[in-house]
Amino acid sequence: MEYIDRKKKLGEVVSIMMDYVENKKTHQTEKTMTVPTRSYTDPAQFEAEMERIFTKVPLMLAFTAELPNNGDYKAMEAVGMPILINRDKKGQVRAFLNVCSHRGAPVAEEGHGNCPVFVCKYHAWSFGQDGRLMGVAEQSTFGKVDKAERGLKQLPCEERGGMIFVCLDPEGAIDLDEYFQGYLGDFEDLDFADWHYVGSRTIHGANWKIAFDGYLEGYHFSSLHPETIHPRTPSNCMHYEGFGPSMRIGFPQHEIKNLLKDVPKEEWGTRENYGYDFVRILFPNVSIFVAPEITQVAQLFPGPTPDKNRTVLNYLRRDPPRDEEDAQALEQFCDFFRNVTYEEDYVIGMEIQKGLESGAHEALIFGKNERGNQYFHEWLNWYVAGDDTAPKPEM
């Protein structure tokens, strides 16, 4: 029933987007919104975002497809913190700080692997898949150690819809149903957990919000992407839906009417990529574009200073490569998407960073047609304010 209801809802959105294209309209809100320039440059603002958002909310840090087998692990850095995610011998996923309890060295090298035990390369202390301290090298000379008190520091973690979410606060908690308001059903419908992980590319850019703002609107397609995106997708033609602080952005294609003219209206919601596309935004830092050839999932990690971000572009596909030729084609798709994202979006983002730091203007302005940007900044401001009684913004 939930699947049918979601597809019906998507079909209603498709009908709205078709009207947008036919009548040259877009989703609009009631007024414009200004954001202080210092929001992108101020160290105090940056620290507040790290403390009140990135260490508190569920962050999508890995995919089920990255850890398909028992014993698989992924070691990574997220906003300056060393993270270890693993799947134990019973298939359960856990997350830890990748920090040995002896002298603080990592217990796993950054990247992917498979092992039954994590061994610190510094002094060879060993830890189980559940984070328990299993062995102290040459303990007879080291002295007494309470192994129960010296395990890896565990982080709240949950696997849903083919994605693995982690809270970077060891004392925090995760409630994905409350946080995503049913949005993860999209990924369950896509059978995202069964997809193939192709690989990733890393790019660097300006303040994380400058970069993220670019994922939230298509107002710039004709001017910034005249040869890559605009031939498929009209500029300034978007539809927004909110799910808690996250959102789904609909982008109709120029040919939406022709591509769907022979498709029964009740099936429009099943035709993603054929007449329309969606960009799925997971607050605070993930953008997902599902395409027929390959899917790009951008994870934006702020820092290490306010003027910089590190973006990991992950690539997945429904099926694994059929042969070597297909595998090479997938790698070429990864490079193409990476190049477009960096050369057409991130380069101008770094120019914007310089412009904001110049002090030319005290505030930026988001138009009535840029509702996604407004929605994102409303939620961000709500979290940073830390006021539990503040009204949560609606779409």
Residues 217 and 292 in one domain: yes
**What's the pLDDT score for residue 51?**
96
Average pLDDT over residues 158-184: 96
pLDDT at 314 over 80: yes
Residue 108's SS3 state is: coil
- If one compares 341 and 394, the residue with the highest pLDDT of the two is 341
pLDDT at 237 over 90: yes
Average pLDDT over residues 243-256: 97
C-beta of residue 269 within 8 angstroms of C-beta of residue 14: yes
Mind listing the pLDDT tens digit for each residue in 126-150? 999 999 999 999 998 999 999 999 9
pLDDT category at 199 given cuts 50, 70, 90 is very high
Give the DSSP letter of residue 125. Answer: -
Whether residue 391 lies inside any domain: the answer is no
Whether residue 359 lies inside any domain: the answer is yes
DSSP string, 278-325: EEEEETTTEEEE--SS-EEEEEEEE-SSTT-EEEEEEEEESS--SSHH
Residues 116 and 154 in one domain: yes
Residues 52 and 73 in one domain: no
pLDDT category at 1 given cuts 50, 70, 90 is low
* β-bridge mates for residue 302, sequence order: 309
Residues 32 and 142 in one domain: no
pLDDT at 13 over 80: yes
CA atoms of 362 and 238, how far apart (whole Å): 28
Radius of gyration of the chain (CA): 22
**Which candidate, 239, 281, 280, places its Cα nearest to that of 256?**
239
276's tokens:
């329309």
Mind listing the pLDDT tens digit for each residue in 315-332? 999 999 999 999 999 999
For the chain, what is the domain count? 2
Phi/psi region, residue 394 (left: phi>0; alpha: psi -120 to 50; beta: rest), is: beta
Residues 88 and 37 in one domain: no
pLDDT category at 163 given cuts 50, 70, 90 is very high
Does the model's pTM come out above 0.75? yes
CA atoms of 65 and 349, how far apart (whole Å): 31
Phi/psi region, residue 332 (left: phi>0; alpha: psi -120 to 50; beta: rest), is: alpha
Residues 32 and 74 in one domain: no
% of the chain surpassing 90 pLDDT: 95
Average pLDDT over residues 32-36: 98
Whether residue 187 lies inside any domain: the answer is no
CATH number at residue 79: 2.102.10.10
- Residue numbers of the domain that contains 239: 2-56+195-385
pLDDT at 2 over 90: no
Beta carbons within 10 angstroms of residue 368's beta carbon? 14
Whether residue 286 lies inside any domain: the answer is yes
Whether residue 271 lies inside any domain: the answer is yes
16's tokens:
């709205």
Residues 230 and 377 in one domain: yes
Mind listing the pLDDT tens digit for each residue in 336-382? 999 999 999 999 999 999 999 999 999 999 999 999 999 999 999 99
Average pLDDT over residues 217-223: 97
370's tokens:
């840029």
Residues 237 and 354 in one domain: yes
**Which candidate, 87, 77, 320, places its Cα nearest to that of 197?**
320
**Which candidate, 224, 221, 248, places its Cα nearest to that of 234?**
221
Q: How far, rounded to the nearest angstrom, does the alpha carbon of residue 26 sit from its chain's CA centroid?
A: 25
pLDDT at 392 over 80: no
Residues 375 and 254 in one domain: yes
**What's the pLDDT score for residue 393?**
81
CA atoms of 232 and 225, how far apart (whole Å): 10
CA torsion 28→34→40→44, rounded to 10°? -130
CATH number at residue 267: 3.90.380.10
Q: Write down the mean pLDDT value for the chain.
A: 96
